[in-house]
A and B are shown apart, each in its own frame.
Chain A
């Protein structure tokens, strides 16, 4: 079956670094996305990994290991505005379209 696991909640301090892990089991893997969702708003794209390794974009980085079915999102120099839910989603070919299979999302609270 298809399964995505990530912690449901995390807390971190402003200025610190936090790592949000995601493990997955899927067939037809076509890449892994991280989305950010502030309360009451649309999920917005953060990163995409399809090959193993680290993708860095400013304060945010995302890592993928396909052999381990594992990804993480790394947030550096945390700011209060980073308080949001972070959604891990695997893209898998569904026969007619690519489908996104989501984890529960990790609600990150950044404290002063």
Chain B
């Protein structure tokens, strides 16, 4: 596997379900991110982890719970979601130190989430 992978690629869940999204990066990066992408809206940054420590939480509702056990893996645990949470959830990683292009992020293909 190379780059950034995400599973599952598609997920349909009811409002009472609990599910988890998984992201793995094979690039040796130190930072990982969760974004929400909705049609005709900018990517919304949800969470940032740097060396496994959460450095940013952009006022995300508690029904989204991130977990970063190590610098290569990132999870997003979902419970009691709302239909408006339906979106593409993108994971990204970056190497903040010593990068020739500060801030450059490498993205996974995303999980298309539908909440019914």
A interface list, Cβ under 8 A from B: 4, 8, 30-31, 33, 35, 40-45, 48, 87, 89, 91-94, 96-105
Is there an interface contact between A97 and B42, defined as CB atoms closer than 8 Å? no
Contact code string B23-52 (vs A, CB < 8 Å = 1, else 0): 000000001000000001111010010100
Is there an interface contact between B110 and A42, defined as CB atoms closer than 8 Å? yes
Is there an interface contact between A97 and B40, defined as CB atoms closer than 8 Å? no
How many cross-chain pairs have Cβ atoms below 8 Å apart between A and B? 71
User: With A42-B108, A104-B40 as given contacts, are A98 and B90 in contact (CB-CB < 8 Å)?
Assistant: no
Pick from A8, A43, A96, A99: contact of B40, CB under 8 Å: A8
Is there an interface contact between A103 and B42, defined as CB atoms closer than 8 Å? yes
Which residues of B lie under 8 Å from residue A8 when comparing CB positions? 40
User: With A30-B102, A43-B107, A96-B50 as given contacts, are A104 and B56 in contact (CB-CB < 8 Å)?
Assistant: no
Is there an interface contact between B42 and A4, defined as CB atoms closer than 8 Å? yes
Distance (whole angstroms) from the CB of A88 to the closest CB of chain B? 10
Distance (whole angstroms) from the CB of B22 to the closest CB of chain A? 15
Is there an interface contact between B101 and A48, defined as CB atoms closer than 8 Å? yes
* Most chain A CB neighbours (cut-off 10 Å) among B50, B56, B107, B110: B107
Distance (whole angstroms) from the CB of A46 to the closest CB of chain B? 11
Contact code string B44-80 (vs A, CB < 8 Å = 1, else 0): 0100101000011000000000000000000000000
Chain A: CB-nearest residue to B44: A102
- Report Cα–Cα, A48/B48, bound state, in Å: 22
